[in-house]
Amino acid sequence: MYDLNDNELWTSGQDKILRLYNFQGELLNSVQPKSRNWPYDIAVPKSRDLVYTEYFDKSINIIKNTQIQQLVRLWKWLPLRLCSTSSGDLLVSMISEDKNHLTKIVRYSGAKEKQNIQWDDQGGALYSSSINIKYLCDNKNSDICVADFTSGEVVVVSTAGKLRFRYTGPQSATKKLF
């Protein structure tokens, strides 16, 4: 078992292997996902275990005591990015398998789905319908912040999943993409 501390970090790359290094560059552990697919994203929640998403396997997995366990298996959705919140939950962005490519953010507490964030109060999509990158995190107010590459904006929703605002950057005459 590896107790991740402030001097260690997990990495993943195109070689499909997850690696734990210390800041001296020494390899402490390496794990290959069971499906042998490239981990789409990784995060370390408060439990200090590594969590990662597998797009093609449609799963969210956790490495506990060097053993890979499937945390969540999705149906009709593909997991993309994830982050660990300050409260210890996981936020996962995902896209629908169908041709609509709808996007949503799901909050998990362990393997239990707690919240599904997809629509605003008028029934409109909060996030662009694209597989393009959507980085996500929570801020000090516990708002969920999503940087949506396709729409060129940051979408911020409250912990309750209500749209707070969309930020597209400073207004300018050149209209460069934020």
Shared domain check, 121 and 63: no
Q: How would you class 18 by CB atoms within 10 Å of its CB: exposed for 0-12, middle for 13-18, buried for 19 or more?
A: buried
Residue 152 has pLDDT above 90, yes or no: no
Residue 1 has pLDDT above 50, yes or no: no
Shared domain check, 105 and 65: no
Q: What is the pLDDT of residue 12?
A: 85
Residue 34 has pLDDT above 90, yes or no: no
Does residue 32 lie within any of the structural domains? yes
Token representation of residue 46: 């408060």
Residue 76 has pLDDT above 70, yes or no: yes
Residue range of the domain that includes 109: 96-178
Q: What is the mean pLDDT of the chain?
A: 86
Give one word for 28, left, alpha or beta, with left for phi > 0 and alpha for psi -120 to 50: alpha
Domain boundary among 22, 39, 73: 73
Residue 4 has pLDDT above 70, yes or no: no
Shared domain check, 63 and 104: no
Q: Model pTM?
A: 0.86
DSSP state letter for 47: T
Residue 132 has pLDDT above 90, yes or no: no
Residue 87 has pLDDT above 50, yes or no: yes
SS (H, E, C) 95-150: EECCCCCCEEEEEEECCEEEEEECECCCCCECCCCCCCCEEEEECCCCCEEEEECC
Shared domain check, 169 and 104: yes
Among the listed ranges 103-107, 136-140, 143-147, 148-152, which one has the minimum average pLDDT value? 148-152
Residue 82 has pLDDT above 60, yes or no: yes
* Cβ burial 41-69 (10 Å sphere, 16+ → b, else e): bbbbbeeebbbbbbbebbbbbbbeeeebe
**Domains in the chain, number:** 2
Shared domain check, 146 and 103: yes
Shared domain check, 65 and 6: yes
